[in-house]
Amino acid sequence: MGVRIALCQCDIAWEQPARNLARLEPMVAAADADVVLLPELFATGFTLAPAGVAEGDDGAVVTALRRWAARYGKAFAGSVAVAEGGRFFNRMYFVKPSGECVHYDKRHLFTPGGEARNYAPGSCRTVVGYGGVRFLLLVCYDLRFPVWSRCRGDYDAILCCASWPAPRREAWRTLLRARAIENQCYVAGVNRVGEDPSARYAGDSALVDFKGRTMAEADDREQIFTAVFDVDALAAFREKFPAWRDADDFRIQM
């Protein structure tokens, strides 16, 4: 049993949601995949002024994701600046063709860049099932925190959307593989390309298997590429090499 994952590595027009959605639709429509993963804040870029672009759960960006999912018969995932209860969240959505919409609020906000001054952190992990695969949702900086993303037998793959600057590209590439190896899971990590007012982005999006092997990887150009996450192969590997049985028990204090 397998699910085909597509990573949509793209440039993002700064704080122009309508323009970005118009550019993205033909790209994602052509993707031969069951799940399409978009970068962090794919409709606006990594803005630290969410008040000017944030929307609610029924806003234009999430409505577009729902429309695409229904029209093209694929699930879509990516993060959006959301306003809720007087606060702003960097919220990752997973939208299914059925219309079901699950979300995860980024837990680890990038304090060195000022994100924590403008967004509120999430308080719980989100695992969503689709096509027989259980996906843990992560956003960018979350990737640096292995305790938060530790597999407890509750997921098969990580979906991570990011706006990861080029100067730290080797950390991004290494962490994707580290999370795959230590959790014996697949990892899909999509990053953007291009520039915004504060950073340059090198892409390096990748699909990694449960042994840390690269299944597919991008360079610094816009592109969509895919790989299949095979849960039967994953289950066989976890049974043959059951490192998870020796994992340390722990509890996260919120």
The 10s digit of each residue's pLDDT in 96-141 is: 999 999 999 999 999 999 999 999 999 999 999 999 999 999 999 9
Domain membership of residue 103 (yes or no) is yes
Q: Which helix (H) or strand (E) holds 174?
A: helix 169-183
Whole-model pTM: value is 0.97
- Host domain of residue 51: 2-246
Contact indicator for 237, 184 with CB cutoff of 8 Å: yes
Query: Given a cut of 80, is residue 53 above it in pLDDT?
Result: yes
Q: Quick one: what percent of the chain has pLDDT higher than 90?
A: 94
Say which CATH number the domain at 23 has.
Answer: 3.60.110.10
Average pLDDT over residues 86-90: 97
Across-strand partners of 224? 8
| Domain assignment of residue 35, yes or no | yes
Residue 251 included in any domain: no
**What percent of the chain has a predicted confidence (pLDDT) above 70?**
100
**253 lies in some domain:** no
Q: Residue 119 half-sphere exposure, CB side, CA atoms within 13 Å?
A: 28
Q: Which residues are catalytic?
A: 40, 106, 140
pLDDT of residue 254: 66
Q: In this predicted structure, what is the pLDDT of residue 251?
A: 79
pLDDT of residue 252: 77
Structure confidence at residue 99 (pLDDT):
94
For the segment 40-46, the average pLDDT, to the nearest whole number, is 98
**Residue 218, CB half-sphere, CA atoms under 13 Å: how many?**
28
Dump pLDDT digits (tens) for 172-201: 999 999 999 999 999 999 999 999 999 999
Residue 11 has pLDDT above 80, yes or no: yes
Number of domains in the chain: 1
Residue 145: pLDDT over 90: yes
Per-residue pLDDT reduced to its tens digit, 210-249: 999 999 999 999 999 999 999 999 999 999 999 988 888 8
For strands 2-9 and 35-37, give the pairing: parallel
User: Sorting pLDDT into bands at 50, 70 and 90, what band is 14?
Assistant: very high
pLDDT at 5 exceeding the cut of 90 = yes
What φ, ψ does residue 111 adopt, rounded to 5°? -55, -40
Q: How far is residue 229's CA from residue 252's CA, in Å, rounded to a whole number?
A: 29
Q: Residue 128: its pLDDT value, please?
A: 98
Mean pLDDT of the chain: 96
- pLDDT in the model for residue 248: 87
